[in-house]
Each structure stands twice: as structure tokens, then as C-alpha cells.
């Protein structure tokens, strides 16, 4: 009977919050139900211990499907027949650093970029590989880990904006969300960058006066409910709606209006969803958003690899080159990390006309902030099949980003019996090690 009553209380709390949003506030800016998982134990205090490092924002470019490292950032011009294919190797403006000829514009930006050619893990399926790269951990039946963006939203303390701290340009299907962290750190999805953040306008020609009246009523109801159920997860649910109200009246919503950009700028980024997404990411960072995630899908090139990669790489080359140019000219590159990664690489050995899944060796890059650009870290063998020098785990990659953001390694959050965690990984043997050679 006691367990049934506890379960009833939990259902009552959840139902209360959902009905409150629909009937009192009239807003629908709410993370998916999977992103609203309560904390496993009480959060540790964030504190004010961030190091004095300049990077306070991240633009995270995710190449969904498994980007071919051999056709982009880790070419092997001397590999045997059947490996490199028609891809040519070109020099960049960084001495000794070479890219694929599909990336001529990024080659000019190479002095800003630290390319990691020794990324490695063991998850060779898309869902598991994506989860691994986004969280640093394998999937677990007992615990859902937070995405990298949720850690940044929680642990980068400087800066303020009425915009959500973590915005994802894309859907949330298969996304780890905020895991065991508060709902406030979950990604807010923007499905179409040209439409902006939907469901932020008053419904049914409502007025701000009526909204404020309902908000005042909701605040009184919330306080009574919180007095009865003074738990962190209930408070976090209520905070989501308070943040939504602030956002609805914020001038920062203008950041979503891409028509404010000159047509030449929009053309430079590319008139497709990815180009518009990268342009929107820049505008959101300018308004204070901490973490913006932009996805470019289509890299699952089991067939017709070279035609597909050429098209994808051209879109990537245009958009990211325009981004790096704009961030540098505005001075924001010193405060922003531009991160590119993928769930795994592709097999260097060509299979017919395509390449298959290859998690044991792939490439990523970081630019901006105090990154020591113009270098490649790690090395694969002569055919780009295996890591030969300085292997980098996903947790090492995340920990390097954390170090560049100035996040303390001892600012940990409890996940109950699972241990303590932060952007650097978990306690014990599951901690990442920053690549100090990349940190200027």
C-alpha cells in the first residue's frame, strides 16, 4: 500500500505539471518526456570555480551516419590501391597539415583547427555509436547519461541569456537529452532553422495581460504544490515553464530571424538546412546561448561513397568556413569552440563503391577558444585502418572540451549508486584525460 501511495504521488505531480502548462499558461515549449528524468540523488553545488579560460560557447557540428575520415581529414595518398580512391590530398595553410581536396575552404582555416586523427571506440552500430559519442558512455539499462551539451549548459557558469542554454537544430529522436540531469539542461529542438523556435507565441490571439494573470495564478498554485513536494525534480519542471514565459517576451527571439542577415551572407553559408543551421548557430551564440548543436546527416555511405562524400563535404566546407570567418572577424572565436565529430569513421578498404562502419579509427576537430590550431593530434597507420599513435577516447575528447571551457574536474554531480560525473566523465577509471597539447 505504501508503494502504491508513493507511485500515486509521483503520477499526481507529473499530471499536475502537464495540466498546468496546458490549461493555465498556454505554452508548449517543453522538452520531450524522456528528457524530464529526475536526478539520481541530489546535485552537487556548481560553485564559481571555473578557470579563467575564454571559451564560453560551443557550436557542435555532428556528422550523422559516420563521416569517412580517409576522404576528409586523414587522407593517405600513398595507400595501396583499393583504399584512397579518387580523393586527392591538398596542402593547407598550416605547415604539414593536409586535407582532402573536397575541403579547400577549410584548408585556409587550418591554422585555427586542431584535428584529432586518433579517435577510437568499439560501438559500430549507429544508435550505440551516436550515444557513445554524445555522452562518452555505452548505453545502459539502469542509467541514462547526459549529452555533452547538457554538461556545458550546466557547468559553464558565465553569461546570461533568455534563450535556452542548449539548442539542438534537429529532432530529439534517439537523442540522450539531459540524462540524469535537470530538465532545464535538456536540448530545446528547432526542427527547421528557417522557421525558428516554434510555439513561443501566444495562442488564440491571447493577450499579455491575460497571460500575466494566469502566470500569477500558476505561481500561487506552484508554491502550494512545492511546499507539499519540495523536491528538485518538481521544481525543475516548474522552472521550465517560467523560462518559457520569459522567452516569449524576449527580444532575443530575433536571433531566429535569418532574414535579418544579408543575402550574400546566407549564400556564403549555403541555402540548405545545414547552412542555415550553422548561420543560426552563430546568431544564437551572439545572443548568449551556451551550446548549439547542428547536424549534417547522410554520411552512411555504404554505396556510391565518393559522390555522396563530395556533396556533403562541399556543404560542410562552405558553411563552416563562413562560420569561422564570421566568428574571427567579430572576435567571438576567442570565446567559442567549434567542434566537429561523428559517431565513427568508414572502412578505409573500399567495399565495391562504398565504405562500411569503422569505429576503431576516425577524425574530429576543435577550433576556437585557446585551441592550439594548425596541428593534427594522433596518427593512424598507412591505410588509416588503426590508431598508431596517441589514441583518444570519447571521454578524452569531452574532457579536452571541458578543459578549454574551464570546467573543474572536481565539480561533480551524483548519480546515486552509479557514482559521480561531470563533463570529464565519471569517477574512478571512467575519467577522461584532456589533450594538453591542444590547449594553448
pLDDT in tens, 397-419: 999 999 999 998 898 999 999 99
Give the integer Cα–Cα distance in Å for 261 and 165: 23
pLDDT at 216: 66
> What is the percent of the chain with per-residue pLDDT over 90, rounded to a whole number?
70
Inter-CA distances, 405 with 57, 157, 214, 340, Å? 8, 10, 40, 16
395, 136 in Cβ contact below 8 A? Answer: yes
Find the mean pLDDT for residues 296-317.
Answer: 98
Read off the pLDDT of residues 381-400 as tens digits, 9 standing for 90 and up: 999 999 999 999 999 999 99
Give the integer Cα–Cα distance in Å for 291 and 287: 12
Give the contacts of 409 (CB within 8 A, at least 6 positions apart). 402, 422, 424, 431
Q: How confident is the model at residue 196 (pLDDT cuts 50, 70, 90)?
A: confident
**Which has the closest alpha carbon to 258: 290, 282, 226?**
282
Q: Which residue has the higher pLDDT, 226 or 166?
A: 166
Question: Residue 146's CB: how many other CB atoms inside 10 A?
Answer: 30
Residue 357 has pLDDT above 70, yes or no: yes
Give the contacts of 228 (CB within 8 A, at least 6 positions apart). none
pLDDT at 244: 56
Find the mean pLDDT for residues 359-366.
Answer: 98
377, 390 in Cβ contact below 8 A? Answer: yes
pLDDT at 202: 53
pLDDT at 46: 33
pLDDT at 243: 58
pLDDT at 25: 36
**Which has the closest alpha carbon to 362: 152, 65, 101, 60?**
65
pLDDT at 61: 98
8, 148 in Cβ contact below 8 A? Answer: no
Find the mean pLDDT for residues 7-15.
Answer: 44
Residue 56 has pLDDT above 70, yes or no: yes
51, 244 in Cβ contact below 8 A? Answer: no
pLDDT at 235: 57
Read off the pLDDT of residues 133-182 as tens digits, 9 standing for 90 and up: 999 999 999 999 999 999 999 999 876 678 999 999 999 999 999 999 99
Inter-CA distances, 328 with 129, 178, 333, 368, Å? 32, 31, 5, 9
Residue 333 has pLDDT above 70, yes or no: yes
Q: Which residue has the higher pLDDT, 440 or 121?
A: 121
Read off the pLDDT of residues 78-115 as tens digits, 9 standing for 90 and up: 999 999 999 999 999 999 999 999 999 999 999 999 99
Read off the pLDDT of residues 415-439 as tens digits, 9 standing for 90 and up: 999 999 999 999 888 999 999 999 9
- Residue 277 main-chain phi, psi, to 5 deg: -65, -40
Amino acid at each position: 500500500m505504501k508503494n502504491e501511495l508513493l507511485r500515486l504521488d509521483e503520477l499526481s505531480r507529473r499530471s499536475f505539471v502537464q495540466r498546468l502548462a496546458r490549461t493555465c499558461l498556454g505554452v508548449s515549449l517543453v522538452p520531450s518526456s524522456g528528457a524530464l528524468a529526475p536526478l539520481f540523488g541530489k546535485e552537487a553545488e556548481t560553485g564559481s570555480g571555473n578557470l579563467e579560460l575564454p571559451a564560453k560557447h560551443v557550436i557542435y557540428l555532428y556528422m550523422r551516419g559516420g563521416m569517412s575520415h580517409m576522404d576528409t581529414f586523414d587522407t593517405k595518398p600513398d595507400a595501396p590501391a583499393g583504399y584512397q580512391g579518387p580523393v586527392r590530398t591538398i596542402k593547407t595553410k598550416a605547415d604539414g597539415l593536409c586535407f582532402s581536396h573536397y575541403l579547400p575552404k577549410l584548408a585556409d582555416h587550418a591554422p585555427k583547427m586542431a584535428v584529432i586523427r586518433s579517435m577510437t571506440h568499439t560501438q559500430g552500430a549507429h544508435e550505440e555509436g551516436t550515444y557513445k559519442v554524445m555522452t562518452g558512455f555505452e548505453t545502459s539499462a539502469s542509467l541514462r547519461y547526459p549529452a555533452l551539451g547538457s554538461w556545458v549548459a550546466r557547468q559553464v557558469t558565465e553569461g546570461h541569456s533568455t534563450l535556452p542554454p542548449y539548442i539542438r537544430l534537429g529532432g530529439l529522436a534517439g537523442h540522450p537529452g539531459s540524462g540524469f540531469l535537470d530538465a532545464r539542461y535538456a536540448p530545446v529542438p528547432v526542427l527547421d532553422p528557417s522557421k525558428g523556435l516554434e510555439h513561443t507565441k501566444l495562442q488564440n490571439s491571447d493577450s499579455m495581460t491575460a497571460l500575466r494573470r494566469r502566470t500569477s495564478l500558476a505561481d500561487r498554485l506552484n508554491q502550494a504544490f512545492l511546499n507539499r513536494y519540495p523536491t528538485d525534480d518538481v521544481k525543475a519542471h516548474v522552472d521550465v515553464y517560467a523560462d518559457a514565459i520569459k522567452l516569449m517576451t524576449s527580444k532575443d527571439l530575433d536571433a531566429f530571424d535569418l532574414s535579418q542577415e544579408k543575402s550574400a551572407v546566407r549564400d556564403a553559408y549555403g541555402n540548405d538546412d545545414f547552412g542555415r543551421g550553422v548561420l543560426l548557430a552563430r546568431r544564437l551564440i551572439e545572443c548568449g546561448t551556451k551550446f548549439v548543436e547542428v547536424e549534417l546527416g547522410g554520411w552512411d555511405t555504404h554505396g556510391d561513397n565518393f559522390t555522396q562524400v563530395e556533396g556533403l563535404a562541399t556543404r560542410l566546407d562552405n558553411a563552416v568556413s563562413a562560420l569561422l570567418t564570421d566568428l574571427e572577424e567579430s572576435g567571438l572565436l576567442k570565446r567559442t569552440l567549434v567542434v566537429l565529430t561523428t559517431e565513427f569513421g568508414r572502412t578505409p578498404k573500399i567495399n565495391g563503391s562504398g565504405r562500411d562502419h569503422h569505429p576503431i579509427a576516425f577524425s574530429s576537430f576543435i577550433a576556437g577558444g585557446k585551441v592550439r590550431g594548425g596541428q593534427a593530434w594522433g596518427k593512424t597507420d598507412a591505410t588509416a585502418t588503426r590508431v598508431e599513435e596517441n589514441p583518444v577516447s570519447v571521454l578524452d575528447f569531452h574532457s579536452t572540451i571541458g578543459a578549454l571551457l574551464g570546467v573543474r574536474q572536481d565539480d561533480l554531480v551524483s548519480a546515486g549508486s552509479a557514482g559521480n560525473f561531470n563533463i570529464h566523465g565519471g569517477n574512478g577509471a571512467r575519467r577522461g584525460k584532456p589533450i594538453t597539447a591542444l590547449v594553448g
